[in-house]
Amino acid sequence: MYDWVPTRALRRAVAMLLVLLIAGAVLGRIDLVVVAAPFAIGAVWGLSRRPRLLPTAALDISGDVAGEGGLITGRIAIDNPDRAPLTSVTVRSHRSEWLRFERGTGTYVTTVYGGGGTDVLLHGRALRWGRHRIGPVDVRAYAADGLMRSRSIRVPSHPVRIYPTTQPFDASDAMPKAAGIAGTHRSRRPGEGGELSGVRPFQPGDRLRRVDWRVSLRNRELYVNATLSERDAEVVLVLDVLHEAGRSWPGRPSVLDTVVRASAAVAEHYLHRGDRVSALEFGPSMRHLRSATGHRQYLTLLEWLLDVRVVASGAAPTSRLLSHRVLPPNALVLFLTPLLDETSSTMLATMARTGRFVLAVECLPPGVRPDRTSEWTDLAYRLWLMERENLMGRLREVGVPVVPWRGTGSLDEVLRDVTRMAAAPRAVLR
């Protein structure tokens, strides 16, 4: 393949030149030679400055990680290694629909001098979480006053990771059951913690610094302060990715946006407190993030959330979800769901019947409703809302609290209820 090829304009110039010169010679008309003269001069001058080397192009993005609404900058660098100037260089860059650029994307046309270069600056913002791409960039150059055209140069696209914004979330200290051997939650077992559980007689092995001298003097016998051990808890985030609803837009989240942002917020809260958090997709792919603690797990989870998407597949989630390895019995399960699919509500009920501490976080954003397609749409929508209320009531009856996601403190009351229920004896299916 040739790097530079003649354009139709060159063929036209040559055709005009030949026809006019031959006609002028045959008819003996000097005026036709005069008419042909600019074509001859233009073609000769242009071709005398035709390039031999292709221009080079590079896409340089400063930082490939940002948060939602974060700034993305970069540049498309075009260099001309040849001495001949380029009449016009067309730079056409593409981008993901969730990246909005004030400048730099679209089609730019510029000139590049011989041995010189030029930059197209990119400046924009990310509108939505996820893995997005800037590019590919197509570059095509014209030289010799539009008589020669380069072959197309394609710069591969550049990936950028946009992490979800964590909506403010806080929950009081209410966990149904602590699971580990260290952590921030009080357990019901005595141990080396900071929470005072009572005073008891001294036993061999007790440390001297735990002796309560005031009580010991009063009773003429050694007494020590007994404390409760501190445990961490495990939180399992189950993300319902069976359906998407609503149109994603800044200030107007879709179901998936709400699920992902709520997951990030809840995970940040519990990981910051030292709990273990794992995540699981409730969908055909059943992606699973193993439980761990700390800031590293938070970053891993954010990375994991970037790949959350609704997969159009008829395969129903399997019962693997209920295995002890994926869903430990003592874990607090936060099921983030829009409650749009019967499979989700069935799974919630099954989890509750098998003794899991499960909480349904309803992630259907307010205002999401179907497009009005007929006069029956409004009525059908109202019926659907009533059915939905009924479904939530039935879930509550089987022991699954349903709470809409509203950010800060929205889960407090329900978590307290779950804790209270966890303390009570219950019969479960095994």
Partner 1 sequence: MISPRTEEMLRRGAGVLRRTAPGPMLFRLTALLAGTAALVLALAGPMRGNPWTYVVVLAVALIPAVRPGGPWVTVVELGTAGLWVFGDLVYREGRGIAGALVLGALLYLHHSACALAAALPNDGRLGPGVLIGWLTRTGVVLLGTAALTVVVVLVLPPAGTGHGGALFPALGMFAAVAAGVAVAYLLHRRR
Q: Of 90, 87, 88, 78, nearest to 140 (Cα)?
A: 90
- Which H/E stretch holds residue 267? helix 255-272
- For partner 1, the binding residue among 61, 75, 108, 419 (CB under 8 A) is 108
- For partner 1, the binding residue among 101, 129, 142, 304 (CB under 8 A) is 142
Binding window for partner 1 (CB under 8 A); candidates: 140-148, 177-185, 233-241, 249-257 = 140-148
Q: How far is the CB of 316 from partner 1 (least distance, A)?
A: 39
Cα(419)–Cα(216) distance, integer angstroms = 36
Q: How far is the CB of 55 from partner 1 (least distance, A)?
A: 14
Binding window for partner 1 (CB under 8 A); candidates: 4-12, 121-129, 151-159, 163-171 = 4-12
DSSP codes of every residue in 85-136: PEEEEEEEEEE-TTEEEEESSEEEEEEE-TT-EEEEEEEEEE-S-EEEEEEE
Residue closer to partner 1 by CB (options 93, 263) is 93
Q: How far is the CB of 143 from partner 1 (least distance, A)?
A: 10
Radius of gyration of the chain (CA): 34
Q: Are strands 130-143 and 148-150 parallel, antiparallel or unpaired?
A: antiparallel
Binding window for partner 1 (CB under 8 A); candidates: 45-53, 151-159, 234-242, 356-364 = 45-53
Q: Of 273, 283, 69, 292, nearest to 167 (Cα)?
A: 69
Instruction: Say whether residue 56 binds partner 1 (CB under 8 A).
Output: no
Cα(90)–Cα(227) distance, integer angstroms = 74
Instruction: Say whether residue 352 binds partner 1 (CB under 8 A).
Output: no
- For partner 1, the binding residue among 44, 315, 322, 383 (CB under 8 A) is 44
Residue 323 is classified by DSSP as S
Q: How far is the CB of 32 from partner 1 (least distance, A)?
A: 7
Binding window for partner 1 (CB under 8 A); candidates: 87-95, 225-233, 255-263, 329-337 = 87-95
In this structure, what token pair is assigned to residue 283?
Answer: 């969908």
CB atoms within 10 A of CB 202: 15
Residue closer to partner 1 by CB (options 24, 70) is 24
- For partner 1, the binding residue among 8, 296, 382, 420 (CB under 8 A) is 8
Single-letter residue type at 164: P
Binding window for partner 1 (CB under 8 A); candidates: 103-111, 176-184, 323-331, 386-394 = 103-111
Total binding residues for partner 1 by CB under 8 A?
Answer: 66
Give residues in contact with partner 1 (CB under 8 A): 2-45, 47, 50, 52-53, 85, 87-88, 90, 92, 106-111, 118, 142, 145-149
